Amino acid sequence: MHSLLRIWLMTAALITNSATAVLADSVTASQEWKDLVAEGDAQAQFNLGLMYDLGRGVTLDYKVAVKWYRLAAEQGHGFAHYHLGTMYFSGRGVNKSYVNAQKHFRLAAKWNVTQAQYSLGEMFARGLGTTLDYVEAAKWFREAAEQGYAKAQYKLGFIHDSGLGVAPDYQEATNWYIKAAEQGHAKAQYNLGLRYAMGNSVAQNDGKAVRWYRKAAEQGLAKAQYNLGKMYNANRGVARDYGKALKWYRKAAEQGFAKAQYNLGKMIKNGRGVAQDSKAAAKWYRKAAEQGHAKAQYNLGVRYAKGDGVFKNYIYAYMWLDVSASNGHVRAGKSRDILEERMTVVDKSIAQRLAKVCKKQLNDHIFSLSELREVFCR
């Protein structure tokens, strides 16, 4: 009995990647599990599969992991079915098969394995190995959510928010977001922050919005970092602090969040929270512009027209202003028309060709500066 208890504790350590001292003894555990495997013990078979899957105490080997998971699953081990499903889902140690993944997730779900229930919800929500079915997805998310699984709670909240597979119910969505957020789910924390900021199904409260944005931002969620920066910039829920606004915009911008890149460029251009730097501002405007941000495209066009932070170039100025105008920026179209009067016929022709290529790239999400340079040189 003592040996079985010790093995269960070590299994938990393997799954959670905790307890360094226990993991250091995984070679000993491997031998103990092998002894139990000889007796046909399903838990020991699963444990060996987990060790080969993670490469703990043995050489990582997905095929061997599948072998042991399968043997344990054949004895009705729920977690073995779930892990076998993940192997089929990702194609580790077996040929990738969503159909087989779903089969094993279903078998695991019968044993109330919450991760399997959540995975079934994901498969139905995305139409993987099955017909897209939001009703069925909602059913499985609920199964896992009611057992306290945070990812499922968030997804169930999202489903009620969007009315996918269920009638829209913002209060119900909020209730599930709260449950997931309190367990540390970053996206749920962000969505809860949005609700408090907007007063959607809760009393509007900027202070609570900041609280939840911060929790998500500290976990690295870019859109939460951006919104927290906005709150500092706008004196909402916290005292205005340009330095902290800049800090959070930068964190989001460095993850490629276009709105944050634009706001960061704007703050640097205006010298808010940092020394004014036209060159650095243009850099961030460019990053946002290349992702299709209309205001950034307009500001980058103006920078090229004036030679502010970049070399003065009417062709690139025209290109970005035209692209911005196509994205609905009214002032960009007017600025482009004024600039056009200062350009030669040849330069205007090149600029229009560049703009055409740039628009196509942005629509296809494959912006390429080198391709634009080729057009420029033709």
Which contacts of 328-336 are long-range, i.e. CB under 8 A and separated by 24 or more positions? 328/294, 329/294, 329/295, 329/297, 329/298, 331/298, 332/294, 332/297, 332/298, 332/301, 335/298, 335/301, 335/302, 335/305, 336/301
Q: In terms of domains, do 288 and 363 share one? A: yes
Cα dihedral across residues 179, 185, 188, 193: positive or negative: positive
- Residue positions counted in the chain: 378
Q: In terms of domains, do 326 and 364 share one? A: yes
- In whole angstroms, give the CA distance from residue 50 to residue 87: 11
pLDDT at residue 236 tops 50: yes
Selection from 310, 317, 355 nearest residue 336 by Cα: 317
Nearest-Å Rg of the Cα atoms of the chain is: 27
**Structural domain containing residue 353:** 277-378
> DSSP assignment, residue 68?
H
pLDDT at residue 271 tops 90: yes
What average pLDDT is seen over the chain?
90
Domain assignment present for residue 321? The answer is yes
Q: In terms of domains, do 247 and 286 share one? A: no
Domain assignment present for residue 342? The answer is yes
> DSSP assignment, residue 130?
S
Of 211, 241, 274, the residue at which a domain comes to its end is 274
pLDDT at residue 39 tops 90: no
Of 213, 243, 274, the residue at which a domain comes to its end is 274
Mean pLDDT of 352-371: 76
Domain assignment present for residue 96? The answer is no
Q: In terms of domains, do 303 and 377 share one? A: yes
pLDDT at residue 30 tops 90: no
Q: In terms of domains, do 251 and 282 share one? A: no
Residue 281 is encoded by which pair of tokens? 């501002």
Q: In terms of domains, do 270 and 326 share one? A: no
Q: Do residues 349 and 314 make contact, with C-beta atoms less than 8 angstroms apart?
A: no
Confidence of residue 235 (pLDDT cuts 50, 70, 90): very high
Domain assignment present for residue 101? The answer is no
pLDDT at residue 103 tops 80: yes
pLDDT at residue 377 tops 50: no
Q: Do residues 170 and 142 make contact, with C-beta atoms less than 8 angstroms apart?
A: no
Q: In terms of domains, do 285 and 229 share one? A: no
Domain assignment present for residue 293? The answer is yes
Selection from 112, 86, 115, 110 nearest residue 100 by Cα: 86
Domain assignment present for residue 33? The answer is no
pLDDT at residue 1 tops 70: no
**CATH number reported for the structural domain that contains residue 215 in this entry:** 1.25.40.10
pLDDT score, position 367: 56
Mean pLDDT of 150-162: 96
Domain count, the chain: 2
Confidence of residue 372 (pLDDT cuts 50, 70, 90): very low
Domain assignment present for residue 222? The answer is yes
Of 274, 291, 312, the residue at which a domain comes to its end is 274
Residue 310 half-sphere exposure toward CB, CA atoms < 13 A: 21
Confidence of residue 29 (pLDDT cuts 50, 70, 90): low
Q: For the whole model, what pTM was predicted? A: 0.86
What is the three-class DSSP state of 132?
coil
Mean pLDDT of 347-362: 91
Domain assignment present for residue 93? The answer is no
Cα 10 vs. chain centroid, distance in angstroms? 31
Q: In terms of domains, do 282 and 374 share one? A: yes
